[in-house]
Amino acid sequence: MLYDTTNIIEGFRRANILLLKETKFHITNALYFFMSYRNLLSFKDIRLNEFYIETNNEDHDAKNN
């Protein structure tokens, strides 16, 4: 099933992803599309919906303060 890449963001929630070697990836406001088989959206989809991406490294920030 194909969808238009605009206006597909239905909401946002917290997402926690566990990667190899117990690497944890936390997303505070993960955008999702309910009808998708893969709920993680591409950067292209996010930009087309006029959202922006903000990242930070809390461990790095704590060491520099």
Per-residue pLDDT of 7-46, as tens digits, reads 667 777 787 877 788 877 777 777 777 666 655 556 666 6
Residue 46 lies in a domain: yes
Residues spanned by the domain of 17: 1-51
Structural domains of the chain, count? 1
Domain presence at residue 35: yes
59 is a domain residue: no
Instruction: Tell me whether residue 12 is in a domain.
Output: yes
Q: Is residue 7 part of a domain?
A: yes
Count helices and strands in the chain by DSSP H and E runs: 2, 2
pLDDT for the residue numbered 6: 59
What is the pTM for the complete model shown? 0.41
Residue 58 is assigned to a structural domain of this protein: no
Contact 29, 36 (CB under 8 A): no
Of 9, 63, 65, nearest in space to 36 by CA: 9
Query: Six-digit token pair at 60?
Result: 């790095």
Q: Which of the two residues, 61 and 20, has the higher pLDDT score? A: 20
Give the per-residue pLDDT at 57. 61
Domain contains 63: no
Considering only residues 55 and 64, tell me which one the structure prediction assigns the higher pLDDT.
55
What pLDDT is recorded for position 64?
47
How many residues does the structure list for the chain?
Answer: 65
**Is residue 4, in this structure, part of any structural domain at all?**
yes
